[in-house]
Amino acid sequence: MCGIIGYAGARQAAPIILEGLAALEYRGYDSAGIAVLDADGIPAVHKKSGKLVNLAAALQGSLPEGVTGVGHTRWATHGAPTDFNAHPHTDCDNQIIVVHNGIVENYVQIKEDLISQGHEFTSQTDAECIPHMIESYIEQEYSFEEAVRASAREIKGANAVVAISTRDPGKLVAFRLGNAGGLVVGYGQDELFLASDLPALLPHTQEVAYLAGGEMVTLDNHSANYFTLDGMSVTKTPMHVAYDALSAAKGEYKHFMLKEIHEQPEAIINSLRGRVSFNDLKVVLDEFQISDADIARIDRVVFLGMGTSFNAAMVARNWMESLARLPSEFDNSSEFRYRDPVIDENTLVVSLSQSGETADTLAAMEKAQENGALQLTLCNYPGTQTTRIADHTMLLRAGLEIGVASSKTFTNSLISLYLLAIDIGTRRGVLEESRRRDMFAELARLPDLLGQALADESQYEVLAQKFGRRSDFLYLGRGINFPLAMEGALKLKELSYIHAEGYPAAEMKHGPISLIDDEMPVVALMPRDDLYEKMLSNVNEVKARGGTVIAVATEGNEDIKKRVDEVIYVPEVSSLINPVLMAVPMQLLAYHIALWRGCDIDQPRNLAKSVTVE
């Protein structure tokens, strides 16, 4: 949730840290801070509540000097977003400086013990106990590194921590506990970096190594040494990541999210590349190479995710049932982890997490692992936590997604799940060649169709002007488009702060219909498919009660114009693949309404790109 960056090298640390924080601000943005050690090891610590611009303004262009430092952008868990609660935190003598991501579950006890030893606290955070713990070990003659290790062993919960010390200038010591809260080491020329996520490192290096839970690293300007928390040395070879700094730039677009929405046709091409064999009408998933015997023993599929990933999981159930004829279900990871689910070695658990860090999804996967399930995970970044638990990983290949609200990772999740269902259906012998031929022909056209759906943005500007002031929206869909109604409502809520609900259209009569009036627009997802007439009935019910309907309908359906107030058209495709195209109006309507309302689109309030706490 929070963003961490650390630097040890020969260049001035402060500009690198501030630039890194800007790249990580999507992870949390209620306060930010920086600490730099000068040539004599004297620390300069600056922190400010609010977004990074507040910190930059407080520094007024006079950056602290020094070649070692840490920075932090915060998403509050304990203590309000104030200057005092912002990171970095220090010990009583300002000698130990710490940035932290996660929750120290036993901090109340630790803090009480430290206060009874005479330590003085200045914040309400759980993080502040960490520099004081390190200080107390140093008072017992531990070295800096040993003191950090001893502290790490006492802390409970999923946490990532980076510490620097005035006694050891030039050195960073970091550790990671549990699955949540990533830490990546970046290897430069005579300089090393530490960050919670790749975007902060990519302007400097593409050679990286991930810290696993229960590991620690000490680094300076020329080397990184890895250990377990027992002090055993760990060997790591840096890996090359393919994303470059350019792909993270906004380019011609006003927001990263808009850029990412428009990148969807290309992202889809990337997700199909090498996985679809148009000649022999087969899907080839190198990442999911399991034997025919393993395919045959799968008797159930469970899809897991949170937020947008959960909405993709809901769509996937339809595909797995229809194309592979396998009993399938979906669940929020956060609910699944606390149930007593019936899972065994014949269950295929497919987890979705673009970040690969979502705490609830990690816990749900651990539960599935305990029950012996076969696990496939879908994730946008290699080496993340979900990929360590799963037996197989399918990368989303969406490229960096900086906007906090998911867009291209959603559509690439859908495509990956569609391919998975085709693969399993083919291997189970239940998906005939003639059907596959049509599906493959459609897949080949999909990037172009998506481009067409993206072509006319002016209609969304008009709709934003008309409806931007409304305070509630209802999204209705049926069948495979119901999850898209949920996704549309989620996008609108998170981007524009307008209250919105997604409902299966028939469910409207069982309650929400009492809300219908001329103030609450109803977005009806009604492509031409088997359920179109049913959707039309629901739309008539809304109109009969004086409601306003914005229909999302299939190109060429002129009749619908007479029946509703507004129409957004999407190109015609088969009903199974419709959700991929439906994603575009869901995203663009929310984007333009949020733009019209002046909202912070790339960083909506209270949200974070990786939700590494429960």
Does 612 participate in binding ligand F6R (rule CB under 6 A)? no
Scanning 174-182, 220-228, 252-260, 354-362 for contacts with ligand F6R by CB under 6 A, the matching segment is: 354-362
Residue 84: Cβ-neighbour burial (10 angstroms; 0-12, 13-18, 19+)? middle
> How distant, in Å, are the alpha carbons of 320, 321, 560 from that of 359?
26, 28, 44
Nearest approach in angstroms of CB 490 to ligand F6R is: 6
| Nearest residue to ligand F6R, by Cβ distance, number only | 307
φ and ψ at 282, to 5 degrees?
-130, 150
Q: Which residues pair with 187 in a beta bridge?
A: 192
Does 334 participate in binding ligand F6R (rule CB under 6 A)? no
In whole angstroms, what is the distance from residue 447 CA to residue 22 CA?
A: 32
Cβ nearer to ligand F6R, comparing 31 with 610: 610
Q: Are residues 155 and 106 in contact, defined by beta-carbon separation less than 8 angstroms?
A: yes
**Out of 353, 411, 538, 554, the residue judged to bind ligand F6R by CB under 6 A:** 353
Restricting to residues 461-490, name those near ligand F6R by CB under 6 A.
490
Scanning 85-93, 198-206, 257-265, 351-359 for contacts with ligand F6R by CB under 6 A, the matching segment is: 351-359
**Out of 494, 501, 529, 602, the residue judged to bind ligand F6R by CB under 6 A:** 494
- Residue ranges of E strands in 27-158: 31-37, 43-49, 68-74, 89-90, 96-102
The 361-400 site mask, x for binding ligand F6R (CB under 6 A), equals x---------------------------------------
In whole angstroms, what is the distance from residue 282 CA to residue 305 CA?
A: 27
The 403-422 site mask, x for binding ligand F6R (CB under 6 A), equals --xx----------------
Cβ nearer to ligand F6R, comparing 361 with 548: 361
Restricting to residues 222-281, name those near ligand F6R by CB under 6 A.
none
Q: Are residues 474 and 501 in contact, defined by beta-carbon separation less than 8 angstroms?
A: yes
Cβ nearer to ligand F6R, comparing 205 with 308: 308
**Out of 318, 347, 358, 387, the residue judged to bind ligand F6R by CB under 6 A:** 358
For residue 141, give every residue at least 6 positions away whose Cβ sits within 8 Å of its Cβ, in sequence order, or none. Answer: none
> DSSP string spanning 213-231?
TTEEEEE-SS-EEEEETTS
Closest CA to 275 of 267, 289, 285, 264: 285
In whole angstroms, what is the distance from residue 464 CA to residue 459 CA?
A: 9
Nearest approach in angstroms of CB 405 to ligand F6R is: 4
Q: Which residues pair with 225 in a beta bridge?
A: 218
Catalytic residue among 48, 111, 491, 609: 609
What is the SS3 assignment for 174? strand
Nearest approach in angstroms of CB 471 to ligand F6R is: 21
Nearest approach in angstroms of CB 252 to ligand F6R is: 23
**439: part of which helix (H) or strand (E)?**
helix 433-453
Active site residue 129: no
Restricting to residues 284-323, name those near ligand F6R by CB under 6 A.
306-309
Cβ nearer to ligand F6R, comparing 288 with 591: 591
The count of residues interacting with ligand F6R (CB under 6 A) is 15
What is the SS3 assignment for 245? helix
> How distant, in Å, are the alpha carbons of 77, 311, 589 from that of 493?
22, 15, 11
Residue with tokens 């080491």: 185
The 592-611 site mask, x for binding ligand F6R (CB under 6 A), equals ------------------xx
Nearest approach in angstroms of CB 150 to ligand F6R is: 33
Active site residue 92: no
Catalytic residue among 2, 129, 379, 599: 2
Cβ nearer to ligand F6R, comparing 166 with 354: 354
Residue with tokens 């889809």: 268
Does 95 participate in binding ligand F6R (rule CB under 6 A)? no
Instruction: Tell me which residues are annotated as active site.
Output: 2, 609
Residue numbers of the site for ligand F6R (CB under 6 A)?
306-309, 353-355, 358, 361, 405-406, 490, 494, 610-611
